[in-house]
Amino acid sequence: MDTTDVVRRFLEAWSTQDLDTAAGLVTDDFVNNSSTSQGREGVIEEGRFWFGAFPDARVSIEDLIADGDKVVARTHATATHLGEFLGVPSTGRTVELDEIDIFRVEGDSIAESWSVPDLFGLMNQIGAFEHAGAD
């Protein structure tokens, strides 16, 4: 399987919240360099965290670029903020999130990842800064 195929399958499983399939596409010792969640269980834990706050999230793949064993993905997600996220209670607001991820692929599995989501933009959309500094 081509490296981009592995990443595409992972991102498609993630987008449909098929966390078991997504977890099955990473190595046993998968390292997520952007989270404390590690391994296959970490993928499921991370998914529960995100989808607990944004249960209707859908991710579209905008670009996949491969070089050797690395694949860079640019994704765009839309969702509704329906659960607590990083201390911000549900707002019911529709949000968008752009993200850049780098995946290192070993064979037919993802061994390592680095993620750069636009968390500032996301937190702004859910109103995390609306009352910052106000007493």
Q: How far apart are CA 114 and CA 95, in angstroms?
A: 22
The closest of 10, 33, 36, 8 to 23, measured between CA atoms, is: 10
pLDDT recorded at residue 134: 56
pTM exceeds cut of 0.85: yes
In total, the chain counts a number of residues equal to: 135
Q: Which helix (H) or strand (E) holds 113?
A: strand 109-117
Whether the CB-CB separation of 105 and 125 falls below 8 Å is answered with no
pLDDT recorded at residue 130: 83
SS3 107: coil
Q: How far apart are CA 52 and CA 45, in angstroms?
A: 10
Q: How far apart are CA 97 and CA 99, in angstroms?
A: 7
pLDDT one digit per residue (tens) for the chain, 135 residues: 799 999 999 999 999 999 999 999 999 999 999 998 899 999 999 999 999 999 999 999 999 999 999 999 999 999 999 999 999 999 999 999 999 999 999 999 999 999 999 999 999 999 999 866 555
